[in-house]
Amino acid sequence: MKNEIRHGGLKFISFVIIDLICIVLSNVIVTHIYLNISHAKYSLEGHLPVIYLMVAVDLIVTGFFNTLARVLRRRKRKEILQSLKHVAISFVILAMVLFTTKSGAEYSRVIVSLAYVCDFFLILGCRYLWKKVLMKIYWTKNNNSALLMTTDSFAEEALEALKKSGGDVKSIFLLDSKGQKAIGGVPVAENIEDAIAVLGWDLAKNVYIYGLDHQMIPDALADACREMKVRIDLVDFKYKIIDVKTVKNDDSRYGSLSFIEGKRDIPFPIRRVYWITETEADLHRGFHAHKLNCQLLFCPHGSIDIILDDGEKKDTVRLDEPGKGLLLMPGLWREMIWNESGSVLCVLASEYYDPDEYIRNYDGFIAYNKGSKE
Ligand code: TYD
């Protein structure tokens, strides 16, 4: 519940109040109807302790079982299921208290059961209407509010890129968070549940990922976005030159040591490593694009030009030192030209080798890129 209050604030409290009002109302309605029908001997006043108990149980259930999470963005089916769950848990808890104690026998079990049925429908109706009101108040105000997901090393440039494209970043979720509380004044979500709560409570309307391989999107976030019908969009680069961390020893005889850590220095897990050696100068290779595979290319020895083509323009990047890495996202046609014989090309890849994941025909590549943009 602490999480809910932190992220949902007044919206959360209002839903709790609605639940409490519904449970009291449903009890009063059912008691009145039942008393008129059965002419039972006990009065409405006599039934008040049950109402207090129901209210207490409702609060406990909301607190412990977090049944209000995502309530604002929940789709109808999910709302029905969650409300049913909430009411059922409350009913079972109260039943255990009332129906098994002596004092419980004094109260009509029929009234309590009917009250919960009535509560379910009241909760559904009231929450639905209240949601509509909140949506009206909040929805139009900030359609650019966003949750940004990236890695620690890309956080600042991702924030810049999103701001430039008009996004108003409300929260950042870092895949390899080092416990930062905020970046550029934007709060960092502590964990994936917090990030999802930001969406569930409608504090951000969009999700943007930056420089991430598709495998890095946590299942929980993908599921939540599907459930809440939130699109995951890319604010992305096609390629980027990165500095590979390199340690040089004072004694030049020791040479230098470069290293890369998957998911930290590069935004994907390393599934495959390959390298091309024993090459002649002016060798041309490549002539393909990838549908999914993200890669880091580097040349620990020699010099290699990488010609990159996104279907609209071509760029050339020269890899000629071990500390220079070229990060390639999918959807880029590439050609590699060896400038010196013996130059070594090393590749770290996010995917296992899969020939079907390659696009080896240039016209096919143009068509594929066009299709994925639409
Ligand atoms: P290829 O992708 O055609 O190299 P390039 O595009 O640079 O010319 O790969 C050459 C061959 O190596 C091809 O038969 C597939 C095989 N191969 C693997 O089996 N596993 C791999 O990880 C890679 C990269 C290639």
Whose C-alpha lies nearest to ligand 1, atom 9? 286
Whose C-alpha lies nearest to ligand 1, atom 19? 353
Take residue 354 and report the two structure tokens written for it.
């899969």
CA of 372 to the centre of ligand 1 (A): 25
Domains of the chain: 2-138 (no CATH), 145-234 (3.40.50.11060), 239-373 (2.60.120.10)
For residue 322, name the pLDDT band (cuts at 50, 70, 90).
very high
**Residues 202, 12: Cα–Cα separation, whole Å:** 11
> What pTM was estimated for this model as a whole?
0.70
Active site residues: 288
Identity of the highest mean pLDDT range in 10-19, 93-102, 234-243, 354-363: 354-363
Summarize the confidence of residues 234-248 as an average pLDDT. Answer: 88
**Residues 302, 321: Cα–Cα separation, whole Å:** 7
CA of 290 to the centre of ligand 1 (A): 13
DSSP characters for 137-176? Answer: HHTTT-TTEEEEEE-GGGHHHHHHHHHHTT-EEEEEEETT
Number of alpha carbons in the 13 Å side-chain half-sphere of residue 185 = 4
Q: Which has the higher per-residue pLDDT, 66 or 178?
A: 178
Summarize the confidence of residues 77-83 as an average pLDDT. Answer: 90
9 vs 46, 144, 173, 295, 307, CA distance in Å? 36, 20, 20, 42, 51
**Residues 11, 23: Cα–Cα separation, whole Å:** 19
**Residues 20, 123: Cα–Cα separation, whole Å:** 9
CA of 273 to the centre of ligand 1 (A): 12
CA of 263 to the centre of ligand 1 (A): 24
Among 271, 274, 334, the mutation site with the greatest number of ligand 1 atoms within 8 A of its Cβ is: 274
Average pLDDT, the chain: 87
Index of the ligand 1 atom closest to the CA of residue 355: 15
Whose C-alpha lies nearest to ligand 1, atom 3? 286
CA of 276 to the centre of ligand 1 (A): 10
Among 292, 336, 353, the mutation site with the greatest number of ligand 1 atoms within 8 A of its Cβ is: 353
Index of the ligand 1 atom closest to the CA of residue 358: 2
Whose C-alpha lies nearest to ligand 1, atom 14? 355
Per-residue confidence (pLDDT) for residue 352, from 0 to 100:
93
**Residues 67, 47: Cα–Cα separation, whole Å:** 27
**Angle of helix 192-200 relative to helix 219-228, nearest 10 degrees?**
10
Q: What is the pLDDT of residues 6-20, one digit of tens each?
A: 666 667 788 899 999
Cβ atoms of 331 and 254 within 8 Å: the answer is no
**Residues 307, 336: Cα–Cα separation, whole Å:** 6
Residue 166 pLDDT more than 60? yes
